[in-house]
Amino acid sequence: MYAIKTDSLTKYYGKSRGITNISLTVSEGDFFGFIGPNGAGKSTTIRTLLGLITPTSGSAELLGMDIMKQRNEILQKTGYMPSEASFYRGMKVREVIRYSAALRGLDCRKEAARLLDRLELNPDKKIRELSLGNRKKVSIICALQHHPRLLILDEPTSGLDPLMQREFFAILKEHNADGAAIFLSSHILSEIQRYCRHAAVIREGNILICDEVKNLGHTRAKQITLLGVSAPPAIDGIKNIESVEDGVKFLYSGDYHALLSALSSMPVTDMNMTEPDLEEIFMHYYRSGDM
Amino acid sequence: MTILKQELRQGRNALILWTAVIVFMLLICILIYPEMGSQMNELSGAFANMGGFSAAFGMDKINFGEFMGFFSVECGNILGLGGAFFAALLGISALAKEEKEHTAEFLLTHPLSRKNIVLQKGLSVLVQILILNAAAVSACAFCAFLIGEKPDIGSLTLLFLAYLTMQIETAAVCFGISAWISSGGLGIGLGGAALFYFLNLISNLAEGAKFLKFLTPFGYTDGAEILISGHLEAKYVTVGILFTAAGIAAAFWKYCRKDISV
């Protein structure tokens, strides 16, 4: 059974595109990254999975249950952290957290107290007095206090300071180690690279690639930096040319003999050839859609 | 019933404020009646002959100098109009406020069916209307006792029942609209309640505009008609009940299918 399984999931808002034919699987217990620029369809995918919006076509299952028919059962076992944490402004932190537990018909006071302590959040503060970061902490507690089997997090770290981000991921890793699947939408690549085992890249409503994070960095293309020249050799397979101090940087996916032969006649003073980092690949996907 | 409790908690201050204002105005109105009563007897004839103005408020048919006549017009306007505004605000904001205040994403990602959410929010509107009316009835009874009036309980019950039914209908229609909108409901609610009120005034002015009484819940709250006939006009109440049912059904139908904006 998969934590998340979508089959050609499509959502149109009238005539404008939300997501088109999203098919992906997230295994139980996985730590899955969902990468894409603003407007790519990350939040639309998540909101469709959670039943906030109805898909135009296609289907999806969360924890083996149909998102259209078994919404309540799914939400009972799912924790969700939205990208913008908004709560009832007149309520106190403690009241919002208890209300969330009560809506689930649960008493989560013990776990809530533990999380409040770890996230250093004052439960007696009014929501309207909280900074974005502190509202995010309330959201984290509401998403985690009932020990969900699936956690869906939409750009969760915006507003959290670096120390709190580390604590947040430590908590996530503990839940993941306990068997919870984590679906993390983000455009912060270092987060995905550091914490996720699998990831999918979404662009203009389509999934471009879905693979293990370590494989996403392995492509045929190499990043080459040449010093002493201002332009790359005039051969096929060169992309993303950038000027650097006293040299040029580019991605190369052509024949190495052709490259070496071309370089032998150029005044190159130094050369560096590496795997492109995830950010490089990510930017490339954003621009062209293939690698 | 977690949402019901939460809604009542959230709406507590507004309920207290509206109830206090309406009750205060009812108190003032009833307490000044003895002083005005004698003058009213003299003025009653004048009121009855003010043509369209008195017809609009039903003052051409009743004795304004008697307590029940005075009460049905003055207090009817306070509880009728005030209650309708309050009911409209409750109804129009019940579902839409979650999207307007960006809390819908929080609420709707908890394991509750949308049907359940609509039900509990609808009940919270009803409970608040009942509380306001219970306070109004108690205040009126207390004040009538204070000034030594013994109003006809049957007529008084009919009047209060009419105001309550009208408020529930207004709230239900607004509740239905609330499922369609995600912001800016305040103007629709207050404007709608005012429109209902003025439709009734117009329908009182001309025989040809009588059909408007079918469109407005104020059509069956006309105090003069109720006092004279001793009953609520069944045809208007029936249409009102249909509007109420349609509003509630629309709220369930739309909210259970709606794409939630965040």
Nearest C-alpha in B relative to A54: B259
Looking at the DSSP assignment, which residues form a beta bridge with residue A152? Answer: A80, A183
What are the residue boundaries of the structural domains of chain B, listed by start?
A: 2-255
The pLDDT value given to residue B233: 87
Least confident of A146-150, A249-253, B54-58, B239-243: B54-58
User: So what's the pLDDT on residue A261?
Assistant: 92
Closest residue in B to A80 (Cα) is B109
Minimal CA–CA distance to B240: which of B208, B200, B209, B204?
A: B200
Chain B residues inside the 8 Å CB shell of A71? 111, 113
Q: Quote helix, strand, coil % in chain B, to nearest 5.
A: 80, 0, 20
Region of A79 (left: φ > 0; alpha: ψ -120 to 50; beta: rest) is beta
For A206-220, what is the mean pLDDT?
79
C-beta atoms of A82 and B259 within 8 A: no
Q: Can you tell me whether residue A146 is helix, strand or coil?
A: coil
The alpha carbon dihedral of B173, B174, B175, B178 has a sign of positive
Residues of B (105-134) whose Cβ lies below 8 Å from A: 105-113
- pLDDT for the residue numbered B45: 61
Cα dihedral A129/A131/A132/A138 (nearest 10): -60
pLDDT digits (tens, 9 = 90+) for A114-155: 999 999 999 999 999 999 999 999 999 999 999 999 999 999
Q: What is the mean pLDDT of chain A?
A: 89
The pLDDT of residue B252 is 97
Q: What six digits make up the tokens of A29? A: 């217990």
Q: Is residue A44 over pLDDT 70?
A: yes
- Calculate the average pLDDT of chain B: 87
pLDDT at A275: 72
What token pair was written down for A52?
């906030």
Portion 7-46 of B in contact with A at CB < 8 A: 10
Minimum mean pLDDT range among A182-186, A234-238, B51-55, B140-144: B51-55
Domain ranges in chain A?
Answer: 2-212, 222-274
- Residues A168-180 have a mean pLDDT of 94
**How far does the CA of residue B112 sit from the closest CA of chain A (Å)?**
6
pLDDT of residue B230: 84
Tell me what the mean pLDDT of segment B25-36 comes to.
83
* Least confident residue range of A126-140, B61-75, B240-254: B61-75
Residue A291 has pLDDT above 60, yes or no: no
Identify the band that residue B47 occupies on the pLDDT scale cut at 50, 70 and 90: low
CB contact under 8 A, B10 and A90: yes
| Residue contacts between A and B (CB atoms, under 8 Å) | 65
Predicted local distance difference test score (pLDDT) of residue B33? 79
Lowest model confidence (mean pLDDT) among A173-187, A198-212, B148-162, B199-213: B199-213
Q: What is the pLDDT of residue A17?
A: 87
Position A6 scores a pLDDT of 94
Which residues of A touch chain B, with CB atoms under 8 Å apart? 13, 47, 50-54, 71-76, 78, 80, 82, 84, 86-90, 99-100, 102-105, 142
Of B42 and B28, the one with more pLDDT: B28
What digits encode the pLDDT tens for the residues B94-110?
A: 999 999 989 999 999 99
What is the rounded distance in angstroms from the CA atom of residue A20 to the CA atom of residue A6?
11
Could you report the per-residue pLDDT of B190-207, keeping only the tens digit for each? 888 888 888 888 888 777
Does residue A216 surpass a pLDDT of 90? no
Cβ pair A53:B260 closer than 8 A: yes
Share of chain B above pLDDT 70, in %: 89
CA dist B191 and B170 (Å) reads 12
Kindly indicate whether the domain formed by A2-212 is annotated with CATH number 1.10.10.10.
no
Residues in chain B closer than 8 A to A142 (CB atoms): 106
Question: Taking CB atoms and an 8 Å limit, are B111 and A72 in contact across chains?
Answer: yes
Strand duo A31-35 + A16-27: pairing: unpaired
Chain A positions in Cβ-Cβ contact with residue B260 (cut-off 8 Å): 47, 52-53
Whether residue A192 is predicted with pLDDT greater than 90 in this model: the reply is: no
User: CA–CA separation, B155 vs B163, rounded Å?
Assistant: 12
Higher-pLDDT residue of A275 and B71 is B71
Determine which of A66-80, A230-244, B40-54, B98-112 has the lowest per-residue pLDDT on average.
B40-54
The answer to whether B256 faces chain A, any CB pair under 8 Å, is no
pLDDT (0 to 100) of residue B217:
87
Given an 8 Å threshold on Cβ–Cβ distance, is A75 in contact with B109? Answer: yes
Task: With a cut of 50, say whether residue B59 has pLDDT above it.
Answer: yes
What is the model's pTM? 0.84
Contact (CB, 8 A) for A108 and A70: no
CB-based contact A60:A4 (threshold 8 Å)? yes
> With 80 as the cut, is the pLDDT of residue A288 above it?
no
How many alpha carbons fall within 13 Å on the CB side of residue A86? 13
